Homo-oligomer: A and B are copies of this chain.
Amino acid sequence: MGRGEAMPANGTPTRGYTATKDQLQTRLRRIEGQVRGIERMVEDDRYCIDILTQISAVQAALDKVALGLLDGHVRHCVAEGAEEGKADLMSTELMAAVGRLMRRG
């Protein structure tokens, strides 16, 4: 989103990974709470395996946020890229982002 892409504030997208701004913010607030929960688990010396399960859950939730953001961006690039004369730049940026997500950082 940004740079001309309007992210719908509260629409109800139904295709694949698409997510509204509201949905992304809700998910991110939940993720923030999950990370705080993991901090407390470490503080309380909780069982390692249980903490790892929570970390895996946060990773899955972050993947979902990333796919939701990427979906809107891909739709914008495919629909408008050529017209805006930025097809090459957009493709290079997009692939770099996908590469980072696949390698996780």
Binding site for B on A (CB under 8 A): 1-3, 5, 7, 15-17, 21, 24-25, 28-29, 31-32, 35-36, 38-39, 42-43, 45-53, 55-63, 65-67, 69-75, 77-83, 87-88, 90-105
A43 B66 Cβ-Cβ under 8 A: no
Contact A78-B77, Cβ < 8 Å, known A35-B32, A62-B55: yes
B56 A42 Cβ-Cβ under 8 A: no
Count this chain's copies in the assembly. 4
Chain B residues whose CB sits within 8 angstroms of the CB of A36 once the complex forms: 32
CA distance A76 to B16 in the complex (A): 21
**Which of B2, B35, B52, B90 is in CB contact (< 8 Å) with A101?**
B52
